[in-house]
Structure 1
Amino acid sequence: MEKIIPCTVLVLLLVFAFGAAQNITARRAEEFHVGVILDLGSLVGKVSRTSISLAVKDFYSVHQNYSTKLTIHIRDSMGNDVKAASAAIELLENYKVQAILGPQKSSEAAFISKLGSIKQVPIVSFTATNPALTYDSMPYFVRATLSDSVQVNSIASLIKFYGWREVVMIYDGTDYGRGILPHLVDALQQIDAHVPYRSVIPLSATRENIKQELYKLMAMQTRVFIVHMSSSRASLLFTKAKEAGMMNKGFVWIITNGIANIIDSLNQSVIEAMNGVIGIRSHVPKSQELDTSFLVRWNRMYRQFNPNELPHNKPSIFGLWAYDTVWALAQAAEKVRVSGNSNRLQSCKNCTSLDSLAIYSNGPELLKEIVQNKFRGLSGNFDLTDRQLPVSALQIINLVGGSCRHIGFWTSENGLSRQPVIWPGESTEIPRGWEIPASGDKLRVGVPSSAYPQFAKTSKDPVTNTTRANVFEEAVKMLPYAMPYEYVLFGSTKDTSSGSYDDFVYQVHLKVYDIVIGDITIRYNRTFYADFTVPYTESGIAMVVPVRDSVNKNTWIFLKPLTPSMWFGSVVFFIYTGLVVLSLEFLGNNKNVRGPIPRTLGIMIFFSIFEERLVAEEIVERFLSRVVMIVWLCFLLVVTSSYTANLTSMLTVQQLQPTVNDIQELLKSGENVGYHRGSYVKGILEELGFDRSKIKAYDTPDEFHNALSGGSSNGGIAALLHEVPYIKLFLANHCKGYTMVGPIYKAAGFGYALAKGNPLLGDISKAMLNVTGGDTMIQIEKKWMGYQNDCQNVGPVTGSSSLTFANFRGLFILTGAASTSSLLIALIIYAYKKQNRSTNMQNNNEQVETNRTEEENNEPQEGNQGAVTEECIQSRGDGEEDGQVHEQSDRNPHTSPAACDRSSAVHRGEPSTVLQS
């Protein structure tokens, strides 16, 4: 009995466990209905269907204990928006779906997402990339893919890297095709690239229509094309492009990620036709999940759904996004834990079938779980926090030899990194991006009707009867390709309203001309509607004025070589140097400088002017004085030589001095000024303050000559303001009597104008640099423009200017330093000697006192002799101090030199050697 009880317990436990397992199985059988809307006839639709089915199978084989299970209801939209909308309504009405996956087209997703927002049903699309689909207008829409706007910066980086200035966009006439346009155009504008033409391929376009559009593109200059189309229409486009010869060298084709993402799934003949194409596609990082076993299982399932098609090696990125989307939705459904029918019906009268659809009460919670779900999927990091996948890196591919080659990456942080590209025609040379179409119209070159035809000189060839121009033709010869063109004359000298140069340049903006040449000044206001080549002439505005034809007869002309400051400085140093020399000689006990003040001043002047003679005759005795005089000699030599040269220049060259040196003189005097009619110089004169009645317009160089020769007082003008190149031409024919003053106003010179963004700009500028930088421009000036090198008046003429104190600052510093330092040295020596003499005097006085005491103790006869000795000592001391013998010693016989010597001898007890007379 005891053995039977445990067996019974064991059986009961097994029964209980079996029942629990049955309950768990029942709970796992709770279905979560999901609608799927795809175009099953398209490649993306077939790939997505396979990935969704495989994802459901793989997910629940890993998560067997989940209480919910996705039940997929697939509907075929056949690429039609109405059928897609009808399928969505049918799924909501019949199956009460809690989520809808994959409205494949952006136009389909737009309507269905609005419906989902009303019914609180999340709409998750992994193929709708139109940037117009946003969370703001459709709160229940989730983009499990990348927006088309994320790739525009990478495309712009490619355009900028290769230096292309113009691109043509080719796109479908659908919401998908048009959605990227504003974002791409903005990105191209930021790099100064332009879109001169947009090629829209409507859905109704036939093969013949596409071929005609391609021939139209071939007739244009631009050779860079960006293709944003569906895979099926892109395949047809590139097939026809190859037939039209547009896949050869010189063409550039860039495909967006809509095509590049499924490039591996396209037909091999299409891939071969796309040889040389570069594309932008989403990067799929390598992972263990995306292994060979997955690809085998995926291909096996794809063949089950599409038994009549060839198997694909691997799914596209859209298939991986579809796979990860199913996993994200399955995890969100499990967290919501749906039990029973959570849809509630709306109660309303006279409702339509659409209004009667149930609202999913758990929709907000399900949406929240979907967007918060983050995991590592087959496509990489799967994160829908921002209602769309984040972009980490985009891959740059190059189709070469029927296969896809990776050539680089683009990231928002690091920009573009690339490898060499094989371009169409199997060329490694970077395409220029534009070509002159062989079958297109000739380049229309606008030529002005100018009074100076030398800058756009046209002539008829007597053999070919064709028009020729100078600098422009030489530049065209330098181009590395042939450029057919024809000249078109603009305006006339009589028609000032239509012949203004601003109007002329504006014609390139209006597409009347492709380029305008001639004497066109590069001005800031013109750059708003035209681009300019590099200038080929000098720049600036100057004045043409008459010149004086007589020698200057000014009475005080001899003072003009030196400025007042120079005169003042010279006189000051002249006096200072004389005083220094006088002081030096006085301190040196020179008897020539001791005397009355008038005599002393005369010697000082003599020192400063006739220093050579002073040195020769040794009137200047001290060495320091001679050093000062040598430096002063050098100073006078330089100043006098400069003065002589400048005075000579003023008396001779000044014959070419212009009558007006400054434009402000004309303003103050109220003189008439002239300008070339139609020139912007008139505006400059008005800005400077000239009265309009004083500004006169002329048309030809002869009119300029007549007005200048007449003068302002006779109804002419005092000066002509013109641009430097024109002035040189004028002076070449009127060399005598006129000169150029200035330039007084800066300008950029003459250049050629093209429409904004014209790709010819860079090549023509380079060619013009080649022309102007060599001997060609010199020959053109000699042959066509008539410049004369022997005209001395060409160029700014200015009179000899007075010499200033600053010109001789170094000499002033040198002579001042020499004089001052010599005087200081002399003073130091004098003070030292005076100090020694004072010491000697003190010693002598003490000796005298001693001798006087001794004499008082001696005999009386010696007293008189001692007195004489004392007087001799006193006499000698005074003589040494004054540097001379006083006359009083000559008058006193006892203090004469001989008497003193005898007295000294007697005082010392020595015999006198002086003979008595």
Structure 2
Amino acid sequence: MSYSDNALVKCFSSFVASYKWRRVIVLYEDDEFGTVSGTALQLACELQKVGTQLDYSAVFPPVDSISDLKGTVRSELSRTREHLATVYIVLRSSANLTVTLFQEAIALGMMEQGSSWLCGPDVATLLDSTFNSSFILKYMQGVIGFQPYVNESTNEYVTFYSDFQQAFKSEYEKWGEIVFNPGVYAARAYDAVQAITLAANKANMNNNSLVDNLPSINFVGLSGYFKPIIGNVEEENGYSAFRIINVVGKSYKEIGFWLDGFGFYNDESQLNLPGSTFLQQLSVVFWPGGTQISPGGLRKLRIGVPEKSTWDGFVKVEYDNRTGNVKSVSGFCIDVLTAAMNRLNSLITYEFVPFAITSNFSYSDLVNQVYLKKIDIAVGDITATSNRSEKASFTEPFVSSGLAMIIPMKRDNMGLTLIQPFTPLLWVTIFTLLFYNFGAVWYLERNHEKADEEFHGPWYRQLGATFWIIGNTIFQSYGDKVGNFYTKTVIISWLLVVLIVSNCFTANLSSILVTEKLKPVVDKSIAGCDGASFVVSYLEKVLNFKPENIVPIKVQAEYPTAFENKTITAAYIELPYVRVFLSQNDNYAVYGETQTLGGFSFALPKGDPMTADLSKQILALLEDGTIKQLESKWFSISLSNFGTATNGVDRQSLGLDVFWSLLVFSFGASLITLITFVIHKRVTANRKKKEQQVAPIMDEDEMVQAPQIEEPHAQNYEIVP
């Protein structure tokens, strides 16, 4: 005969989810058996399914057992004010507790603009039968109630309504009762009496007991489908529906309906159609404080921020010189928070609570304020670390981070710039090949049968002639002055090397001169870092720095000064700051490997559902380019892009690995040419030697036979003896 508790908690959770409220507080009066506590636990499970957290449960014992009802209620309501949620669900409450509850809520300012009060059927039905109009007008404005649905348009209910008013008025008007409207419980009581009557009639007919016949009774009564179940009051073979009401003025207005398994409806006539999971189907709602603006579900958030970041542009708090109050809070981190909050829920309000970051109060202490519940969110250039995550939950990082070492740079000796395009090994190899080709040309030209006379003169003339041939391959064609075919082959292979190597040399030298290469000065003996960050502990525990070798830096401008004064020889800075530092200071570079760390995030209480919501919005801001725009606004650079770190090795010099195939080709061509020349020279020499041995015999034969030859014109020929 009663409404289903399972349907009621689903109705509550659906309503809360539609407004995207992430925290609620439940208040209820328990019975001596703890039955309502079970329903409250069921409600917590349903709320968790829609991503809402039950912040606090205010449990009241039965009113009859409370000696000081007003004091008990005030004390419990004061505890609820310590929590973030401003959405209050009154699950079960008697009339006496309900009256005191709303009176104290008004006194404590808990029914002002921004709060939401949702009441179950136990309270909502009292508006028809118990509470007078003056109480409703003064203490319950803006309350949302859920009444079990009763079809009041049927003829049976209209007749019952008229009879009830007449009977109630005649009986109780003389006692000052002015509420004559029947509630849902009156209709259910009427149905219960009708069920007992039917069961009694059936018992008389069957000659058995009333209890035996009650389970078989079922009908559609004033309150809907009715079926009593012995031992367990529960609805079967039907569904639960609730009328949603909104207290306005001296009474309430109907704003919609909710049907289990179907959702919300705007009109009673639509209950046979599919419903909606969104509250746009409902009428306009008037909330506590007399506003039609939907509450955000949270009290004004206290957001802790560092008074001033070590690095400009991230967070900055300005004060009013006259009053000393906070005048403005600005910076890149603040803009990211504002953008995320606006996307999440524009109705959430917040205020900033500045904290001065000193040697005695670090960023870890700021995060600890969240754990101590002195602030609700910690915002700033806060890096998520394992130690900090023990005290708070962190959102997705809005800027990636890491730890890098910054060192000063000095210019290379410009007198050596001309040799930098190639590595020393390549230079040695090129000159070795040059001298090898020099020797090959000298040998080929000197031993050629048509050799220039300069190659048969003094050694210095031979040396000069050889250099002249080699040099001309670079500047002009040597042409016919190279008389040896083999020499030309060597010159061609060398010319190919010269053309390719000279072009690469010119291109690489131009690159070096344009970039004005710098050389890092590596000395990690004394390191500077942000003294208020976790970096100090990281250097000691991970990188094994001694405490006396760590110099805390308070503000950004101290880093260049500390380098110039030799106070520090290196600085360990988080990557977002590195990008800012390098964009504002010349002659510094990142050296060595970058230590990967958690990025800049917002810190919230552990288990806070808003952490996931903010993380989702931060990812959306990263994807749509909003954060990149904010980076450009505050720093004129991207904090998300970072070049390759240098480790002091000259990576612009071309090495032997680039030219080895070309050099091997030139060497091989010269070697083959020399071998061919030597073989050819040897073969030619042997042939001439044989010819010289045969020549004398042929001469004697010609001298004996010569007088016997009769030629008519022999006098015209000269005989060579």
Q: Give TM-score, length-normalised by structure 1.
A: 0.46
Partner of 2:84: none
1:507 aligns with 2:369: yes
For residues 485 and 283 of structure 2, the distance between their equivalents in structure 1, rounded to whole angstroms, comes to 94
Quickly say closer, same or farther: Cα 1:171–1:603, change in 2 above 3 A: farther
Q: In the TM superposition, what is the alpha-carbon distance from 1:688 to its structure 2 partner? A: 0.7
CA contact (8 A) 1:173 1:203 kept: yes
Contact conserved, 1:635 with 1:815, CA < 8 A, in 2? no
Query: What corresponds to 1:367 in structure 2?
Result: none
> Which residue is equivalent to 1:721?
572
CA contact (8 A) 1:444 1:485 kept: yes
Is 2:610 the counterpart of 1:746?
A: no
Contact 1:476 1:483 in 2 (8 A): no
Structure 2 partner of 1:470: 330
Deviations, residues 9-57 of structure 1 (Å, cap 9, x unaligned): xxxxxxxxxxxxxxxxxxxxxxxxxxxxxxxxx447xxxxxxxxxxxxx
Counting only pairs closer than 5 Å after superposition, residues 374-453 of structure 1 correspond to structure 2 as 396-400=261-265, 401-402=267-268, 404=271, 420-423=276-279, 426=282, 437=295, 441-450=299-308, 452=310
The aligned amino acid for 1:657 is K
The 3-state SS of whatever aligns with 1:505 is helix
Question: How is 1:238-277 mapped onto 2 (pairs within 5 angstroms)?
Answer: 244-245=141-142, 266-268=149-151
Q: C-alpha separation between the residues in 2 aligned to 1:893 and 1:321?
A: 145
Contact 2:536 2:550 in 1 (8 A): yes
Matches within 5 A, 1:19-58: 42-43=1-2
Distance 1:318 1:913 in 2: 160
Whole-Å separation in 2 of the counterparts to 1:913 and 1:238: 163
> How far did 1:680 drift?
0.9
| Higher Rg of the two aligned structures | 1
CA change 1:616–1:540 in 2 (3 A) is farther
Look up the match of 2:614: 761
Q: Deviations over 1:123-146 (max 9, x none)?
A: xxxx9x9xxxxxxxxxxxxxxxxx
CA contact (8 A) 2:28 2:58 kept: yes
Q: Are the structure 2 counterparts of residues 320 and 820 from structure 1 closer, same or farther at C-alpha, using a change threshold of 3 Å?
A: farther
Contact 1:541 1:745 in 2 (8 A): yes
1:621 to 464, 471, 485: 485
Encode CA deviations 1:685-726: one digit per residue, 9 max, x unaligned: 112111222223243456545543332xxxx32223233455
Is the counterpart of residue 523 in structure 1 residue 385 in structure 2?
Answer: yes
Pick one of 221, 243, 254 that aligns with 1:310.
221
Segments of structure 1 that go 5 or more residues without pairing to the other structure are: 1-41, 45-126, 130-147, 254-258, 271-297, 326-377, 380-393, 408-418, 429-434, 835-877
Q: Deviations over 1:495-534 (max 9, x none)?
A: x33x121111121233212233333223343234334455
Match for residue 351 of structure 2? 486
Distance in 1 (alpha carbons) for counterparts of 2:223 and 2:638 = 79
Matches within 5 A, 1:456-855: 456-460=315-319, 467-471=327-331, 474-475=335-336, 478=339, 479=342, 481-491=346-356, 493=358, 496-497=359-360, 499-533=361-395, 535=397, 539-548=401-410, 552=413, 561-567=421-427, 570=430, 611-612=473-474, 616-617=479-480, 618=482, 621=485, 628-641=493-506, 644-645=509-510, 653=516, 656-660=518-522, 665-666=523-524, 671-686=525-540, 687-701=542-556, 704=559, 707-711=562-566, 716-726=567-577, 735=585, 741=591, 744-756=594-606, 757=608, 759=610, 761-762=614-615, 765=618, 772-773=626-627, 775-781=629-635, 801=650, 803=652, 809-813=657-661, 816=664
Query: C-alpha separation between the residues in 2 aligned to 1:609 and 1:199?
Result: 99
- Alpha-carbon RMSD across the aligned residues, in angstroms, is 6.6
Change (3 A) 1:492 1:580: same
Q: Which residue of 2 aligns with 1:347?
A: none
Aligned to 1:173: 30
Distance 1:894 1:426, change over 3 A: same
- Match of 1:746, SS state, is strand
Contact 2:115–2:295 (8 Å) recurs in 1: no
For residues 857-872 of structure 1, the aligned pairs below 5 Å read: none
State whether structure 2 residue 717 is matched by structure 1 residue 915. Answer: yes
Give the Cα separation in 2 of the matches to 1:156 and 1:500: 41
SS of the aligned residue for 2:282 comes to coil
C-alpha distance in structure 2 between counterparts of 1:625 and 1:299, whole Å: 123
Aligned with 2:485: secondary structure?
coil
Distance in 2 (alpha carbons) for counterparts of 1:576 and 1:218: 99
- Distance, in Å, in 2 between the alignment partners of 1:741 and 1:169 is 57
Residues 166-185 of structure 1 show CA distances to partners (whole Å, capped at 9, x for unaligned) of 45556663534333666776
Distance 1:324 1:151 in 2: 12
| Equivalent in the alignment of 1:285 | none
Distance 1:880-1:191 versus aligned 2 partners, 3 A rule: farther
| Cα distance change on mapping 1:808 and 1:210 into 2, 3 Å | farther
Percent of pairs identical after alignment?
A: 20
**Distance 1:640-1:740 versus aligned 2 partners, 3 A rule:** closer
Q: Is the 8 A contact 2:437 2:670 kept in 1?
A: no
CA contact (8 A) 2:632 2:638 kept: no
Greater RCO (CA < 8 Å, at least 6 residues apart): 2
Letter in 1 for 2:150: N
Report Cα offsets for 1:754-795 as digits up to 9, x if no partner: 33425372587379657854655434347xxxx999xxxx99
- C-alpha deviations, 1:428-453, integer Å up to 9, x for none? 9xxxxxx9848975332323233636
Alpha-carbon distance in 1 for matches of 2:143, 2:441: 96
How far apart, CA to CA, are the structure 1 residues paired with 2:220 and 2:697? 157
CA contact (8 A) 2:409 2:587 kept: yes
Cα deviation for residue 468 of structure 1 reads 0.9
- SS of alignment partner, residue 540 of structure 1: strand
Q: 1:206 and 2:94 equivalent?
A: yes
Residue 245 (structure 1) shift: 3.7
Amino acid at match of 1:456: V
Deviation for aligned residue 1:682: 0.8
**Offset of 1:744 from its aligned partner?**
3.4
- Letter of the 1:304 counterpart: L
Partner in structure 2 of residue 337 of structure 1 = none
Change (3 A) 1:815 1:625: same
**Alpha carbons 2:307, 2:357 under 8 Å: kept:** yes
Q: Separation in 2 of the partners of 1:191 and 1:309?
A: 34
Contact 1:448 1:491 in 2 (8 A): yes
Give yes or no for contact 1:536–1:772 (8 Å, CA) kept in 2: no
Tell me, in whole angstroms, the C-alpha distance in 2 between the residues paired with 1:763 and 1:592.
Answer: 86
C-alpha distance in 2 between matches for 1:310 and 1:706? 88
Which residue of structure 2 aligns with residue 338 of structure 1? none
1:359-370 paired onto structure 2 within 5 Å: none
Separation in structure 2 between the aligned mates of residue 405 and residue 821 of structure 1, nearest angstrom: 96
Find the residue that maps to 1:455 and give its secondary structure: coil
Quickly say closer, same or farther: Cα 1:825–1:657, change in 2 above 3 A. Answer: closer
Cα deviation, residue 268, structure 1: 3.8
Q: Which letter maps to 1:813?
A: S
Q: Which of 692, 697, 709 is the matching residue for 1:888?
A: 692
Distance 1:439 1:520, change over 3 A: closer
CA contact under 8 A between 1:509 and 1:755: conserved in structure 2? Answer: yes
Structure 2 CA distance for partners of 1:913 and 1:441, relative to 1, 3 Å: farther
CA–CA distance in 2 between the matches of 1:719 and 1:180?
63
Name the CA distance, whole Å, in 1 between partners of 2:9 and 2:223: 29
Q: What secondary structure is seen at the aligned counterpart in 1 of 2:383?
A: coil
Q: Kindly tell me: are residues 533 and 803 of structure 1, through their superposed partners in 2, closer, same or farther at Cα, counting changes over 3 Å?
A: same
Task: Count the aligned residue pairs.
Answer: 559
- Assess, with a 3 A threshold, how the Cα gap between structure 1 residues 482 and 519 changes in structure 2: closer, same or farther: same
